[in-house]
Amino acid sequence: MAGRFASWDSYFWEPGGTVLRNLYGERDAGVLARREYRETARRWDELVTGRVRVPRTYDAEHLRAIHRHLFGNVYEWAGEYRTVGMAKGWSNFAEPSQIDQYLADAARVIHLTDWANLDRREFAAAAARTFAYVNTAHPFREGNGRASKLFMQHVAELSRWRIDYSPKVSGVSAEIWNQASMLSSPDLGSYDPVPGSLVPVFYAMTQPRERPPAPADGSDAGDGSDAGHAAGPASYPRGAGEATGQNPGS
């Protein structure tokens, strides 16, 4: 897999192209975006309702399993780490060689946090710190936002809270979400992300859970029935490949 997708252009149908290679054989960007949206919406619902379950290990493999399920019928590389550098706006995401470390740091934060006893403000801070590592890792060529949002919902199952991404509930628009995510990127020359900008965002999206916290070992994480369907697979829809570009340093 890594050999097949070893360069920026290899993810596209042709060098300099704008449409990602996909299992539909679709070469029209608009058609691909609509088909991807419909497919991931269906697969998202399977995970949220508990009809399909992924092991709650709260680590890189957990995130990869979510991505694999969401995008497995769309992209050959679903669930596989990207092999190229990527950037969005003024933020560069982790180099491919750093992805595992950032996700390991996210897992460390999760496993060292007493989620079941956090109040709303403490939960928002812990969720922001966890997500900042996951977002900086940005491990996949496409679909990072959808996979990481669902991953964070699974993390929230460990607490008395849930995350509702609906702007109607939280007031968090796509612009606010994207700006806070970009501001959480590590400072120039630094490794650790800066999650402060994300704390008020997660606070606004935090709602009480109807179910008790799940055990930390993931043995009874529930069926996702209170996960919040408003947090759909593409809360802020866009065409495949539009949001990110090649890291100029790659």
36-82 confidence digits (pLDDT tens): 999 999 999 999 999 999 999 999 999 999 999 999 999 999 999 99
Token output for 157: 């199952």
Residue 219 has a pLDDT of 59
Give the mean model confidence (pLDDT) for residues 201-207: 98
pTM: 0.88
Torsion angle, alpha carbons of 172, 180, 137, 250, to 10: 130
Residue 245 has a pLDDT of 63
Residue 54, CA distances (Å) to 28, 44, 194, 223 in order: 32, 12, 29, 11
Residue 120 has a pLDDT of 98
Cβ–Cβ contacts within 10 Å for residue 105, how many? 20
Q: How confident is the model at residue 220 (pLDDT cuts 50, 70, 90)?
A: low
Who wins on pLDDT, 219 or 36? Answer: 36
Residue type, 42: R
Q: What is the CATH number of domain 9-246?
A: 1.10.3290.10
Give the mean model confidence (pLDDT) for residues 10-22: 95
| Bridge partners, 86 (sequence order) | 246
Q: Distance between CA 4 and CA 230 in Å, rounded?
A: 36
Query: Which residue ranges make up each domain of the chain?
Result: 9-246
Residue 247 has a pLDDT of 58
Residue 88 has a pLDDT of 84
- The set of residues, in sequence order, having a beta carbon less than 8 Å from that of 151 and lying 6+ positions away, is 62, 63, 66, 134
